[in-house]
Amino acid sequence: MDITSAYKANKAHSTVMWYDTPANDWNEALPLGNGRLGAMVFGGINGEHLQVNEESIWYGGPMDRNNPSAREKLPIIRKLIMSGKIHDAERLCKQALGGTPQGMRIYQTLGDVDINYDFGKRIEYSQVTQYERGLDVSRAIAYTHFFYDDTSYDREIFISAPDDICVAHLKADGKNKLCLDIMQTRHHIYEYSRKAAANSIILGGNLGRDGIDYAMLCKAETPDGSIEVIGESISVTNASEVWIYWSAATTYRVAPESKTLEAALKEILEKASRKSYTELKSSHINDYKSYFDRVSLTLCDEKTQEIQGKIPTDIRLKNIAEGRDDTALEQLYFNFGRYLLISCSRPGTLPATLQGLWNKDIEAPWDSKYTININTEMNYWCAEPCDLGDCHTPLFDLMKKMLPNGRKTAQVMYGCRGFVAHHNTDIWGDTAPQDLWIPGSFWVMGGAWLCTHIWMHYEYTGDEAFLAEMFPMMREAALFFLDFMIEYELDGKKYLCTCPSVSPENTFILPNGEQGANTIGVTMDNQILRDLFTQCNKAAKVLGISDDLDRQIKEACDRLIPTRIGSDGRILEWCEEYAEKEPGHRHISHLYGLHPSTQITKDGTPKLAEAAALTLQKRLESGGGHTGWSRAWIMNHYAKLWDGEKAHENLRQLFINSTLPNLFDNHPPFQIDGNFGSIAAMTEMLVQSDDRRIVLLPALPAAWRNGRVNGIKVRGNAKINIEWSDLRLESARICSGRDCMRRVMYDGKIIELELKKDRLTEIKFD
């Protein structure tokens, strides 16, 4: 029986993405990962190409990049901005506020593992039959099957978290046997590649001056063929089956004084290979499903899923572009997004980068770092509602590394107490400005925005021990701004404002025609600070803390510029009503208050919500949403405005314009935040929550006429199951992690529920 028979039934349940041709390029390959190790699987006919990654392949070591000129020149920069001399201020910003050196460390590909079949000649796709490759996202296994010369060729590949290895099972069933060569490479940039044992090869090197050492080890076994290492290749001949075990390690995780990387890898592979393939596979699936099975979403009936599941995934995307509906693909996309987060951000690993774990380049777009002026934050919007809060924890681990660096940046560059970070960080928790890019680099809100995720995690989990551990960081982020902000008079009232301040990556036009980005107290800064300050006060109350700093934070919060509406009815982006250089800009930073924040709500602040809707309308009319992650943000905004049709239409546009054949989000190029941001929006369309109320089916589109969702988490440490029919709520049940009273809203009706810990409660609206 061929391997694909195990997956055919699953297609009816929207958990298998599959294709009837091999991947032509990386954007068609399929991702695997266990949080630390990653691979892109191409599913070739003449062999398998695995482009592989390891989370800590970052070039170079930690650096002190704090600009010593910043503290002296900051008052001058502020004076220039206050007097309207934006050009002069920005010129001095590039000199005095830029990091030294200007660039952080970069995330790189580890390399490639090539498994080359020897058929006696190179065969073409037209010569094989029954070709199929796919990825079962319910079990995290990739497969390939084809038939050639009276022989069935099958492959299964997965990356196990319990055993910390990539395992490939290759099989030939018929008149022919497997003859293949295995080689590891790294773009010709490595120090050694050699035999490690009679059936193993190792490749390794160093990632630059002061950088970490790395190595990857590959081992092959067969029950009936022969294996020989020749040079830097493993040669396998006349085998009916081959098992390939692969792993990688760096000195970021393995201390050189404890053991060599080669010894560490041999230990991992030897331990794993002593288990049967069935044991390895079962352990992997059980571990993965302990995450994946927490939530389920159904958007169409089984017959529709079965019909659509028979169509290759790339063709289904094309069908949507031609105007056809495919709610089963939307369901698969939701499952794929959860799969990606589980596969690239596990407890104890590094957090997801711009490309998650899957970077094919030595010099990646935007260095594949952590861009913290939205992209990194968006990566984790889906974590809590999808009950993957433990996948959120790598972000908090990185923030702990940032804290001492951010203290130094605050003191050296700005003469302030507390902790600050700008719009990027790296594996070492760098907090100095990245690049010399006026619209983006000199933005001091990165650490503050990240700290709002601390409160988010607490709200969803109720974990007071976590809150107590992270609360000092929240306070240090707030403390920085108590020192950094300046007084600014606006409309006859004095406010506390950031300066210099940018609305991330956007540019305005002054009345004299001059263009600029740096100004005073932009809307997003005020909204982020309002969240940070408010959350600090709430956390202090939870933890029983009442002191002078708590009072100062409250007073500063009360002096922030409120979110305002301009003369054209839109939310103001800057403190003054400037003209926009790019009316369709990809960033929609001044709507942070709508999402991810809850400062603007449909029922709580209707005038601001109306202004936010107009802001979105104008952005889109001017060409906005042209990047995948921006479209995902727009989806979240419309969900929060309870406009299910516009949210769903933007999901369709995401599929049409910003989704690659392998369902990766396309910036372009590939950037994973759109995958995560869009499934966060799908949850917001079905359930929303804040500290005031839970809203059921707030943005249900007509396309999702019937469906159900189970296990979605809401704030207050509770889970909800919902079922709907003909766009009306059929049933809802909630299970809380604590005794409490909760308000629940549906279709304008509000009820109060008394919830008991761990008891399932029916939600009924009369």
- State the Cα–Cα distance between residues 390 and 378, nearest whole angstrom: 16
Architecture of domain 5-59+108-293: Distorted Sandwich (2.70)
Percentage of the residues of the chain whose pLDDT score is greater than 90: 96
Q: CA dist 520 to 160, 443, 487, 525, Å? A: 50, 11, 10, 9
Quickly list DSSP for 540-607: HHHTT---HHHHHHHHHHHTSPPP-B-TTSSBPSSSS-PEES-TT-S--GGGTTTTTSSSS-TTT-HH
- State the Cα–Cα distance between residues 719 and 609, nearest whole angstrom: 27
Residue 112 has pLDDT above 70, yes or no: yes
| Stretch 324-335: mean pLDDT | 97
First to last CA, the chain: 54
Enumerate residues 6+ apart whose C-beta is below 8 A from 279: none
pLDDT of residue 356: 97
Enumerate residues 6+ apart whose C-beta is below 8 A from 660: 27, 28, 666, 670
437 CB burial (10 A radius; 0-12, 13-18, 19+): middle
Cα 554 off chain centre by? 32
259 CB burial (10 A radius; 0-12, 13-18, 19+): middle
- State the Cα–Cα distance between residues 736 and 732, nearest whole angstrom: 13
Amino acid at 113: V
Residue 98 has pLDDT above 50, yes or no: yes
DSSP state of 438: T
Residue 387 has pLDDT above 70, yes or no: yes
Integer-rounded Cα radius of gyration of the chain: 27
pLDDT of residue 107: 98
Residue 2 has pLDDT above 80, yes or no: no
Kindly report the CA angle at 578 between 572 and 584, in degrees rounded to 5? 75
> Whole-number mean pLDDT of the chain?
96
pLDDT tens track for 36-63: 999 999 999 999 999 999 999 999 999 9
Whether the Cβ atoms of residue 371 and residue 440 lie closer than 8 Å to each other:
no
- List the one residue out of 638, 639, 650 whose CA is nearest residue 685: 639
**What is the pLDDT confidence band of residue 637, given thresholds at 50, 70 and 90?**
very high
| Stretch 335-362: mean pLDDT | 98
Helix (H, G, I), strand (E, B) or coil at 467: helix
Q: CA dist 478 to 182, 405, 441, 537, 760, Å? A: 54, 16, 20, 10, 39
Residue 8 has pLDDT above 70, yes or no: no
Q: Which residues pair with 160 in a beta bridge?
A: 165
Q: How does strand 515-516 pair with strand 508-509?
A: antiparallel
In degrees to the nearest 10, what's the CA dihedral of 65, 71, 75, 80? -20
pLDDT tens track for 203-261: 999 998 889 999 999 999 999 999 999 999 999 999 999 999 999 999 999 988 888 99
Percentage of the residues of the chain whose pLDDT score is greater than 70: 98
pLDDT of residue 9: 53
pLDDT tens track for 516-569: 999 999 999 999 999 999 999 999 999 999 999 999 999 999 999 999 999 999
| Stretch 491-497: mean pLDDT | 95
- List the one residue out of 70, 71, 72 whose CA is nearest residue 94: 70
pLDDT of residue 1: 41
- State the Cα–Cα distance between residues 71 and 476, nearest whole angstrom: 19
pLDDT of residue 14: 72
pLDDT tens track for 506-516: 999 999 999 99
Q: CA dist 211 to 60, 364, 754, Å? A: 4, 18, 56
327-344 and 277-292 are packed helices; what angle lies between their axes, rounded to 10 degrees? 110
- State the Cα–Cα distance between residues 204 and 427, nearest whole angstrom: 20
H/E stretch holding 282: helix 277-292
20 CB burial (10 A radius; 0-12, 13-18, 19+): middle
Domain spans, the chain:
5-59+108-293, 66-100+369-561, 704-762
- List the one residue out of 240, 244, 243 whose CA is nearest residue 176: 240
- State the Cα–Cα distance between residues 64 and 404, nearest whole angstrom: 12
Q: Kindly state the tokens that stand for 429.
A: 């928790």
Helix (H, G, I), strand (E, B) or coil at 191: coil
7 versus 405: the higher-pLDDT residue is 405
- State the Cα–Cα distance between residues 703 and 267, nearest whole angstrom: 52
pLDDT of residue 5: 56
Encode 80-146 in three state secondary structure: HHHCCCHHHHHHHHHHHCCCCCCCCCEECCCEEEEEEECCCCCCCHHHCEEEEEEEECCCCEEEEEE
- State the Cα–Cα distance between residues 300 and 308, nearest whole angstrom: 11
Peptide bond into 365 cis (omega under 30): no
Residue 10 has pLDDT above 60, yes or no: no
- List the one residue out of 503, 534, 509 whose CA is nearest residue 521: 503
pLDDT tens track for 640-667: 999 999 999 999 999 999 999 999 999 9
Amino acid at 596: P
- State the Cα–Cα distance between residues 746 and 764, nearest whole angstrom: 10
pLDDT tens track for 716-728: 999 999 999 999 9
Cα 533 off chain centre by? 26
Helix (H, G, I), strand (E, B) or coil at 217: strand
**Which has the minimum average pLDDT: 11-25, 87-101, 253-267, 578-592?**
11-25
- State the Cα–Cα distance between residues 617 and 260, nearest whole angstrom: 58
Q: Kindly state the tokens that stand for 438.
A: 């006026």
Enumerate residues 6+ apart whose C-beta is below 8 A from 536: 471, 474, 475, 478, 550, 553
- List the one residue out of 129, 174, 128, 143 whose CA is nearest residue 8: 143
Residue 7 has pLDDT above 70, yes or no: no
Q: How does strand 694-696 pair with strand 740-746?
A: parallel
pLDDT of residue 149: 95
Kindly report the CA angle at 468 between 467 and 470, in degrees rounded to 5? 65
Amino acid at 549: L
Whether the Cβ atoms of residue 561 and residue 574 lie closer than 8 Å to each other:
no
- State the Cα–Cα distance between residues 471 and 334, nearest whole angstrom: 33
- List the one residue out of 357, 494, 406 whose CA is nearest residue 33: 357
pLDDT of residue 710: 97
Quickly list DSSP for 502-535: --TT--EE-TTS-EE--BS--HHHHHHHHHHHHH
Whether the Cβ atoms of residue 184 and residue 201 lie closer than 8 Å to each other:
yes
Encode 590-659 in three state secondary structure: HHCCCCCCCCCCCCCCHHHHHHHHHHHHHHHHCCCCCCHHHHHHHHHHHHHCCCHHHHHHHHHHHHHHHE
Q: Domain 66-100+369-561 class? A: mainly alpha
